[in-house]
C-alpha cells in the first residue's frame, strides 16, 4: 500500500512570503502530524490533526497553522516566512484511534523548505 | 520535551551486533518505549516498541530493564544500510495521539 506522500519535495521561498505544504496519509489513517527538523533544534513536533480537528499542538508561533480535510489529507501553512523557517518539514500518519500498541507513526520523505 | 538520554554516537563493525542504549529514568507506568531511525535526508522509520517485556521483530530486538528505567535496541547483524540516527522515545498510548518528542538520538555508524 502507498506510503505517506508529501508535496512538494523541495521549495524555495522569499522572506515574508507564505507557503503551503501538503501531506497525503496512508489509506485508512486518520491522524496526521507535522514536524520541523533543523540542524540546531532537531526534530520538533508542530501539531497533530485527527478527524479534521487539531488534537495536539507543539510550541510554535501562530504563523504555523494547519488543517485536515475529510479524506484525511492535511496541509500546513507558514505565513510571513523568516530565514529561520528553513527546515525539513515532515508529515507522519497513524491510525490515530485508541487502539493501544500498534499506533506507530509512518513518516513521509519530507519537504525541504529554503527561505532566502 | 524528550524524556530520554542517548549517547550521541556509536560505531559498530559490519556483521556484528549493534547495541544502542537509552535511559528513560522518569518513565511512567503507562508510557511505552519506541525506537525510530532516520537515514540521512529521509523521514524517520519505525523500528520497534515495547512496554515492559522484551520484544523482537524482523528488524531488531528491544530489551527493557525490569525497573523500566532503561532499554537497549539490538540490531543483531548490522549492515552498512543500518547507518543512521536512532531515536528512543517514550510515549503514552491512551488516546492514540501521534505527537512524538524526539531527543538528539544516537548516530550509529556501521564500519565495513
State pLDDT tens for residues B36-70: 999 987 999 999 988 888 999 999 999 999 999 99
The CA-CA-CA angle for residues A50, A23, B96, to 5°, reads: 30
A103/B93 Cβ within 8 A: yes
* Cis ω for the linkage preceding B34 (within 30 of 0): no
Q: What is the pLDDT of residues B4-26, one digit of tens each?
A: 999 999 999 999 999 999 999 98
By Cβ distance, the residue of A88, A92, A108 closest to B98 is: A92
Flag whether pLDDT at A56 surpasses 90.
no
Q: Is B101 on the interface with A (CB under 8 A)?
A: yes
Best-predicted range by mean pLDDT (B12-21, B29-38, B83-92): B12-21
Residues of A (3-62) whose Cβ lies below 8 Å from B: 4, 31-33, 35, 42-45, 48, 50, 55-56, 58
| DSSP letter, residue B5 | B
**What DSSP assignment string belongs to B32-87?**
EEEEEEE-TTS--EEEEEESSS-EE-SS-EEEE-TTSSEEEEEETT--GGG-EEEE
Amino acid at each position: 500500500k502507498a506510503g505517506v506522500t508529501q508535496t512538494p519535495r523541495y521549495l524555495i521561498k522569499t522572506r515574508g512570503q507564505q507557503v503551503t505544504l501538503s501531506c497525503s496519509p496512508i489509506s485508512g489513517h486518520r491522524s496526521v502530524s507535522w514536524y520541523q527538523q533543523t540542524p540546531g533544534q532537531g526534530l520538533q513536533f508542530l501539531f497533530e490533526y485527527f478527524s479534521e480537528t487539531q488534537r495536539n499542538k507543539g510550541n510554535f508561533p501562530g504563523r504555523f497553522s494547519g488543517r485536515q480535510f475529510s479524506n484525511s489529507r492535511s496541509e500546513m501553512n507558514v505565513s510571513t516566512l523568516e530565514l529561520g523557517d528553513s527546515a525539513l518539514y515532515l508529515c507522519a500518519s497513524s491510525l490515530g484511534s485508541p487502539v493501544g500498541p500498534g499506533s506507530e507513526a509512518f513518516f513521509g520523505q519530507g519537504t525541504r523548505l529554503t527561505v532566502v | 520535551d524528550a524524556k530520554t538520554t542517548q549517547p550521541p554516537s556509536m560505531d559498530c563493525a559490519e556483521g556484528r551486533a549493534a547495541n544502542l542504549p537509552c535511559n528513560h529514568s522518569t518513565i511512567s507506568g503507562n508510557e511505552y518505549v519506541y525506537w525510530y531511525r532516520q537515514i540521512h535526508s529521509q523521514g524517520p522509520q519505525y523500528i520497534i516498541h515495547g512496554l515492559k517485556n522484551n520484544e523482537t521483530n524482523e528488524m531488531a530486538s528491544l530489551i527493557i530493564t525490569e525497573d523500566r528505567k532503561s532499554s537497549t535496541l539490538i540490531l543483531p547483524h548490522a549492515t552498512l544500510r543500518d547507518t543512521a540516527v536512532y531515536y528512543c522515545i517514550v510515549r503514552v498510548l491512551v488516546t492514540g495521539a501521534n505527537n512524538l518528542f524526539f531527543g538528539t538520538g544516537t548516530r550509529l555508524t556501521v564500519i565495513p
